[in-house]
């Protein structure tokens, strides 16, 4: 079975297949399914038994419910068995790699508030003038690309992450932002607007990061769950004055690639769901962040075949 055929079989499910899997994975009845989708019972009946296609907005609701109730880890693990070593693809295929750098930089920086378009980021990568944008915005884009290049140059299958690697990523992401202490842990307090959980003090950061790094290379039986939990823990420590989100997502990419998975592409359209998943993890609920990670990995596989 080809890469593309596997993706089609395992991920591009029809709305009917998604509904069937929800019913199989839960004790939800058809009536309850209709209620949760805010449609009539007869509508669900037509979707399931008469092959009537839902409206696009209803299809989106079905997809969201599917992601809520069906564990996406099984989809990703099946892809992982069939598709080996995405690192090799990114290192050897220049066209895919350059498009990947562009895509990842756009989405990761946009999540942090960048106003640059993909076209403008492409100009910045080429060293061209980007009209209407501040120098710091251009620098953020170029820095992120340089961090991605360092990442791919450094890693291999079963690469071990250490403190020097994390600090180097940060020093590249925050290059020329000297007031943000590139490559160094924060020395003061930072305020976050998307969480109610208190961040550790600057004095506690080195100790918390030491424990984090000691455990980061131990994945256990649930690799995807561990990577999702690691990302939450890193963001909860918030070890730097700035660049925590970008470095955190680069660490996700590192962990996935060295374990043979496709990189997770967390898109700007998913920003609200991403922050919501992190917020739920504040209260010990990691389900959403695991599901979101898996959905983003599947998008990574789709990117590689396109």
Rounded-to-integer distance, Cα 157 and Cα 258, Å: 4
Torsion of CA 28, 73, 280, 235, to 10 degrees: -170
Over residues 215-238, mean pLDDT: 97
Q: Please check whether residue 237 is in contact with residue 209, taking contact to mean a CB–CB distance below 8 angstroms.
A: yes
The pLDDT, as a whole number, for residue 9 is: 52
Tokens of 284: 């010990």
Over residues 201-230, mean pLDDT: 98
Q: Please check whether residue 44 is in contact with residue 37, taking contact to mean a CB–CB distance below 8 angstroms.
A: yes
Residue 147 has pLDDT above 90, yes or no: yes
For residues 225 and 105, membership in a common domain is answered with: yes
Neighbours of 218 (CB within 10 A): 7
For residues 207 and 280, membership in a common domain is answered with: yes
Residue-wise pLDDT tens digits, 63-73: 889 888 889 99
Burial class (CB in 10 A: 0-12, 13-18, 19+), 107: buried
For residues 92 and 125, membership in a common domain is answered with: yes
For residue 291, give the CATH number of its domain: 1.10.3290.10
Residue 180 has pLDDT above 60, yes or no: yes
Percent of the chain with pLDDT over 90: 81
Residue-wise pLDDT tens digits, 16-55: 988 998 999 889 999 999 999 999 999 999 999 998 999 9
Residue 11 has pLDDT above 70, yes or no: no
Residue 4 has pLDDT above 80, yes or no: no
For residues 102 and 41, membership in a common domain is answered with: no
Q: How many domains does the chain have?
A: 2
Inside any domain, residue 76: no
Over residues 229-234, mean pLDDT: 98
The pLDDT, as a whole number, for residue 219 is: 97
Residue-wise pLDDT tens digits, 83-97: 888 999 999 999 999
Whether the model clears a pTM of 0.85, i.e. scores above it, the answer is yes
For residues 101 and 25, membership in a common domain is answered with: no
Residue-wise pLDDT tens digits, 244-284: 999 999 999 999 999 999 999 999 999 998 999 999 999 99
- The greatest distance separating any two alpha carbons of the chain, rounded to the nearest whole angstrom, comes to 63
Residue 165 has pLDDT above 80, yes or no: yes
> Domain boundary at 21, 46, 70, which?
70
Q: Domain range spanning residue 63?
A: 3-70
> Domain boundary at 47, 70, 93, which?
70
Per the document, the length of the chain is 306
In the chain, what is the straight-line distance between the N-terminal and C-terminal CA atoms, in Å? Answer: 17
> pLDDT averaged over the chain?
92
Residue-wise pLDDT tens digits, 283-306: 999 999 999 999 999 999 989 877
Residue 110 has pLDDT above 80, yes or no: yes
């Amino acid at each position: 079975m080809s890469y593309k055929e596997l993706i089609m079989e395992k991920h591009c499910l029809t709305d009917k297949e998604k509904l069937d899997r929800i019913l199989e994975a839960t004790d939800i009845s058809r009536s309850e399914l209709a209620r949760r989708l805010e449609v009539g019972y007869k509508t669900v009946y037509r979707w399931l038994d008469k092959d009537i296609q839902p409206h696009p907005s209803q299809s989106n609701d079905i997809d969201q419910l599917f992601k809520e109730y069906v564990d996406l880890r099984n989809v990703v693990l099946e892809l992982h068995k069939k598709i080996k070593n995405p690192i090799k693809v990114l290192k050897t295929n220049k066209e895919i790699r350059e498009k990947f750098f562009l895509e990842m930089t756009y989405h990761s920086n946009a999540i942090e508030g960048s106003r640059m378009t993909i076209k403008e980021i492409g100009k910045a990568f080429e060293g061209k003038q980007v009209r209407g944008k501040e120098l710091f915005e251009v620098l953020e884009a170029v820095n992120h690309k340089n961090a991605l290049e360092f990442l791919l140059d450094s890693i291999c299958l079963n690469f071990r992450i250490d403190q020097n690697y994390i600090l180097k990523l940060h020093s590249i992401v925050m290059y020329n932002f000297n007031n943000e202490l590139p490559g160094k842990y924060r020395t003061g307090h930072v305020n976050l607007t998307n969480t109610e959980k208190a961040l550790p003090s600057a004095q506690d950061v080195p100790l918390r990061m030491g424990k984090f790094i000691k455990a980061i290379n131990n994945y256990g039986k649930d690799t995807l769950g561990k990577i999702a939990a690691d990302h939450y823990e890193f963001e909860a420590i918030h070890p730097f004055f700035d660049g925590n989100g970008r470095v955190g997502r680069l660490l996700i990419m590192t962990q996935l690639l060295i374990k043979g998975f496709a990189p997770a592409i967390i898109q700007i359209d998913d920003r609200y769901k991403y922050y919501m998943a992190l917020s739920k993890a504040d209260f010990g609920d990691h389900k959403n962040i695991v599901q979101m990670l898996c959905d983003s990995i599947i998008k990574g596989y789709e990117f590689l075949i396109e």
